[in-house]
Structure 1
Amino acid sequence: MIIDFTEIVKNNPSFRAYGGVNGIKKGVLFKGNPYMLKIEHNGKKNSILSEYISSKVYSMLGIPTQEVILGKIYDNEREKLCVACKDFKEKDEYLYEFLNIKNSVLMENSSNGFSTELIELLEAIDRQNFCPSDEVRKRFWTMFVVDAYLGNFNRHNGNWGFLVNEKTGTKQLAPIFDCASCLYPEFTDEQLQDFLNVPNELEKGIYTFPKSVIKQNGKKINYHEFFQTTLNNDCLEAVKKIIPKIEKKSDEIKDFINGIEVLTSVRKQFYIQILKMRREKILQPALKRADYLVNK
């Protein structure tokens, strides 16, 4: 069901403002709760679909995730697609993005909080004192595995982090949020059809791009190559835990995508096919290797 947010925006603003560089964002109250409304901008609706679908997939896997609602809004005399993202901050809670946490524990030879060099990220996770480091490492590698499945090219240090209640002193990991860079949002339906028509081109979307924004030795990580070479035990454990869940939920995810009424038939076909291929060609070999290494 698509919710019409046109009157809600006019009559129920939340008077909360949101940052970021992508698209129009408005604060609204929906059923008494604050939401950030992301609205398609300049006709670019694919990132709206990516945000909605990928957040739902994360949630299906049992991972704490920001609640999302797919909607529409009449703006500048035309209908636009939007996604409402529930503001998960409770009263007196603040969101501290990981880039700020990384800045707070910089070593003399470390880059700043924006740097996504893997060795520095893991070092910062071990040095921070907001949440137990083993808990944070598990979240980091869980995101990495699911993002590999969804083809996320921009899980940077500013779109995951911690919730801190400054009155009570309680600290916890924030739910997953900002998934708009998953599922190839930069491609039009015509480009997706071209991929579907040429298997060799479609395979580039598995082995060549998208890469993770996280880097090793200054180069963006290729998901497939990383899973076939890493000896990081936390990563291997995440592979063993998360990939079986993805396999178990694959039919449910397929049915969910097929049931989204605003998706074109081409985009439905592409999403289903590319997720199937990423499971079979990236995740399944990763799981087989992880099982072998951990057992060995």
Structure 2
Amino acid sequence: MHDFSQQDLKVSVYDGAAEKRTMYLGDRRYMVKFGYTLDEDKLNSSRTAYINTPVNEFIGSSVFAAAGFDTQKVLLGTYRGHSVVACEDFMQDRGPGDRLIHFKQLEISMPGESGRSKARPEWDFVRHVIEDSPDLDALRGRTMERFLRMTCVDALIGNFDRHSNNWGFITDARSNIIDLAPIYDCGSSLVPHLSEDEMRARLADPSLMREANLTSPTMSMNVHGKRRKYAYFLLSDQARDFRRELIDLWPRISKDITDRVIDNVPGIDDLHRDFYRATLDARREYVLKPALHLALEETRAEPEIHPPAADDGKRTHRHRRHAR
């Protein structure tokens, strides 16, 4: 656990709603995120007064990194008694004209369609932007794969805030998209608002743990106009491409891997460590595993592609189905 109390925090140069500051460690620049206190009118028996999002940001980012994603580097610590997470600014080593842009900026750049960009994106529009944006020619396939896989890992960590301003790209000095940005903004994961009493209740009752993770959270994306629960969405017809990615992802998000992530979180007590470990287990078992099994069944059911016989000059018309 790092103590940043002696660091001279500067004004934030980063956007977003939560409290942030800028910090330099040597010649490295960091965005420092703070936890926050919940308004009294939002408190109830299942909610904690202090929302310790830095821990959740650290865990969420660490799960993505362990799964093989290019991810922001994070340091968990304190600042004068406050819990903070320091996120290394991944733009500082880029060219002087390079910029981070969010997917939202790609949405509003769609010719004649900026009105379809909403605070909570619609999956059909997200897919349309990825498949048809004239600005994505150089990395269209990588972008679709990133979004599908990112959504699967968000389902594992229970991220309810992956809207269009929470993932993006790198542009060069002439505004050409040249790369995907690392994964960032994972603090809204693993129910950061939950009280310790509610954590104990879920740990003591496996059926409560199961139900809680099946019914929440909802995704920060609409499907046919409605915000869907991950468990529902991943078994739907609209999610075939998503769950297909689980086949390759599965060994990278195993219990052994996520347990190591939780074991390496500094400064948390046994209750929180047990809760995070059990929540990841439950989400893998009840949210992701049924989708994985369905993906395996769908893959086995797909027709095989047979090359034409040597003396047959006709092209085969049997193609693998593209799942939508």
Query: Does the TM-score normalized on the shorter chain lie above 0.5?
Result: yes
In structure 2, the CA distance between the partners of 1:101 and 1:17, relative to structure 1 (3 Å rule), is same
| Correspondence for 2:241 | 234
The yes-or-no answer on 1:50 pairing with 2:56 is: yes
Matches within 5 A, 1:13-28: 13=10, 17-22=13-18, 24-28=19-23
**Residue 245 (structure 1) shift:** 1.6
| Correspondence for 2:102 | 97
Take 1:166 and 1:290, find their aligned partners in 2: how far apart are those partners? 41
**Contact 1:50–1:181 under 8 Å retained in 2:** yes
| Correspondence for 2:223 | 216
| Aligned residue among 52, 60, 68 for 1:62 | 68
| Aligned residue among 211, 225, 236 for 2:232 | 225
Matches within 5 A, 1:243-282: 243-247=250-254, 250-282=255-287
**Contact 2:108–2:115 under 8 Å retained in 1:** no
**Residue 195 (structure 1) shift:** 2.0
**Residue 285 (structure 1) shift:** 1.8
Which amino acid is the alignment partner of residue 279 of structure 2? I
**Contact 1:243–1:283 under 8 Å retained in 2:** no
**Contact 1:106–1:112 under 8 Å retained in 2:** no
| Aligned residue among 174, 179, 188 for 1:181 | 188
Which amino acid is the alignment partner of residue 9 of structure 1? D
Matches within 5 A, 1:68-79: 68-74=74-80, 79=81
- Structure with higher Rg: it is 2
| Correspondence for 2:29 | 34
Take 2:115 and 2:67, find their aligned partners in 1: how far apart are those partners? 34
**Contact 2:56–2:189 under 8 Å retained in 1:** yes
**Residue 53 (structure 1) shift:** 0.7
Take 2:165 and 2:230, find their aligned partners in 1: how far apart are those partners? 20
1:211-260, Cα deviation, whole Å (9 max, x unpaired): 1111112211221122222355532331222123212xx22321331343
Take 2:112 and 2:239, find their aligned partners in 1: how far apart are those partners? 22
Identity %: 27
Instruction: Output the TM-score relative to the length of structure 2.
Output: 0.82
| Correspondence for 1:81 | 83
Instruction: Output the TM-score relative to the length of structure 1.
Output: 0.89
1:93-129, Cα deviation, whole Å (9 max, x unpaired): 2111111110111555952253411101111111222
